[in-house]
Structure formats: structure tokens, C-alpha cells
Amino acid sequence: MARIVMKFGGTSVATVERIRNVGAHVKREVDAGNEVAVVVSAMAGATNQLVAWTREASAIHDAREYDAIVASGEQVTSGLLAIVLQDMGVPARSFQGWQIPLRTDGTHGSARIDSIDGSALISRMTDGQVPVIAGFQGIAPDNRIATLGRGGSDTSAVAVAAAVGADRCDIYTDVDGVYTTDPRIVPKAQRMERIAFEEMLEMASLGAKVLQVRSVEMAMVHKVRVFVRSSFDAPDAPQVGPNGLPPGTLICDEDEIVEQQVVTGIAYSKDEAQITLRRVEDKPGVAAGVFGPLAEAAINVDMIVQNISEDGRTTDITFTLPTGDQERTLQILESKKAEIGFTELNTNADVCKVSVIGIGMRSHAGVAAQAFEALAKRGVNIRAITTSEIKISVLIDAAYAELAVRTLHSVYGLDKA
């Protein structure tokens, strides 16, 4: 017998018929003798509709009321699934985040989880009942509903799994696992049986959309084994593959992966903007003058390149950030122009970040050189580079994004993984 948390995303619960399919997946685990808790997202499209209604009511609105509105999508789903399970003969009860309670900080709209008390859920599970939990939400210090940001149901599920000491957390979605890259770009992309937490964290933060970044962070901190699985597989399909694992991809500690490839996957993000400050006075503190105000505005800067300007006396500073923060960043920099002392501000949103990821890079030399040589042969110019122990990211023109992904996927042998 195992203790399992099962999470189902919006496409998995898009209709009542799909919710019945989810119920069959849950019943299968209960019938196998497992203790089960379920976390659900809103039905596909429901959150978008709620957000649209909120914006229609007022372009500038109270964040607490925004949370009260958008959290209702998950509440509907949890109630419907509880009813479906009861109809199948499975004891079930719906829970909203505040009823657990899942406590958050006070940042309405993008709250972070402070604590979660799993005792009530454990009691229900040991008594044979299935708690069906509305994901994406908790209770803030002001005793009002707080939401965790888009994709927050993944984080809710991992938090619940950690709180109840689950053996694993199964994330059911519309894909059947984590691939070496986007199969829509590279048809030969391979589904991975296992991927380390650190690698998945890099993949998620660098463009892979399978899991929310914060959910992977939480899983890594609390050592929660996570399976990414497809809810579109038949509920009565075999549950153990040749590798002894359920179908899908296991996200786990590095120690569980016996043979680590040098490169695990290729991620890409077109949601990038490049900003260059030209002819900035080259003196101590200038970088702090540029990036301090951006940090205060919670703008996440990624690649940073600084070099001597053409005149030899000043410096040029180039950096990247999400395109959604571009306008805000430009406003901040313009307001600080006199303090920073730049003469020209250039922007370019027609860029893409492509990243090579793998824990095996720690112990292998020449991985970066291999990437640069392969891209050069295909005529792909690199605008900026950033590296860590387990990743290399390059910024290139967006027009070359798919070519770069296919080239790197092939050069590291991932086509035949």
C-alpha cells in the first residue's frame, strides 16, 4: 500500500465526462489499496474566463477580490469530482485551500506557501476517504483566499504530498511525460524515464511548460518523488512498465539515476527581450545603479553582458528579461537615466534563448565548445551566453530558434536516446 497524491490539470477536467475519466483513475488507485488525495485545477478555460470578467468589471481592481473570483474555478472542479467519486462508490470530500489549512504569505495573486497542516488530510486518508483539494489557493494572513499564480495547482499538489508524507505525487496532464525537447519541433525527441530535480528545475525555468517552476523547487527541497503522467491513458491500462515504474517520467533525486547522460535535454524560450544601455560611465556602482531598481520592482534579469564601448572610456551593458517585463523595465531605466548616465537605450524582443541542460556536464569538458561549433556550422549567431554547472544558455535571433534546437538535440545524441 502506498500513499499517493494525484493532481489533474485543466485539460484533464475540462468537461464532466473528463472528470468521470479522472474519477476512474482515482478509483483504480483506491481499489489497489492505496491511500489517495487528489488536487485539481479549474476546468480548461475557466480561469481565463474569470480573469476576463474581472478585467471587464474594472481594469484596476483589488487583488484580494481578484483572488476570491479566480479561486472559484478550482472549487467547482473539486466539488464535481467529489460527487463523481461518491457516485462510483468511493468515499470522497472536497476541500478548499483554507479548510486544510494551506497558509500563504500576503502577496495576493502570486502568494507563496508558508505552511500546510497535513494532519486532517492524513486522518481522512487512513479512514479510507479521498480528500479532493482545490489547487492554486490557500489562506493569507488577512484570512482571505490567496492564489498561488498561474500553474499554482502543481505547487499545491507537491505541498500536499510533502505535508502528508506521500510516497509519490502523480501529476496528470495532457502529455505522457517529460521529453528531451519539444516534440513539435523535434519529432525524434525522446520521453525520459527519469530526470533529476535540478535538471527539471532548469528545464522548467528555461522554457519547458510541463511543470510550474515553484512546484519543482518544492519537490526538490522536500524530496517528493514526482511522476508526470497522461490523464488520457486508459484508467485500466497497465500501471507498471518494463522499468518497474508507472508510465511517464519520474522526477527524483540524482542518486536514483544510475547512468547519467552528459546532456539530458534542450529547452527554449521565445519569451525573451534584450535591452542594451550604451555608453554608460565606467565607474564602480554603475551595475548596482542599473539592476538595483529592477530588483526592487521584482523584475527577474537573466543574461548580463558588459563590455567596453567603442570610445574606450565608457561601457555597454546588455541583459535579457521576460518580454512581459519589457515596458516596465524601460520606464524604470528612463526614470533613472540621469543617475545611471547612459546615452542610448536599445531593445530587441525578436530573440530566443536556447539552453543545453544536463547534470553530466559537471564532469565532462568541451560541452559548451561542442554547442558553439555546431551552431556556427549552421550559421547561427550567438548574441549572449550564460552558464552554470549544469546548463549553457545562448541568446540568438528568434528566426533561428527551431534550427538551433534541432541542431543541439542532434549533436548531443538525444535523437537516439
> How many angstroms from the chain centroid is the CA of residue 403?
24
CB 248 within 8 A of CB 228: yes
Residues annotated as binding site?
Answer: 7-10, 47, 74, 173-174, 179, 184, 209-210
Residue type, 23: G
* Beta carbons within 8 Å of 137's beta carbon, 6+ residues apart: 67, 71, 74, 96, 97, 98, 102, 145, 146, 147, 148, 152, 156
Q: What is the dihedral of CA 333, 338, 339, 345, to 10 degrees?
A: 40
Which residues are paired to 308 by β-bridges?
315
Other beta carbons within 10 angstroms of residue 204's beta carbon come to 23
**Cell triple for residue 271?**
519569451
Residues annotated as binding site for substrate?
Answer: 47, 74
Residues annotated as binding site for ATP?
Answer: 7-10, 173-174, 179, 184, 209-210
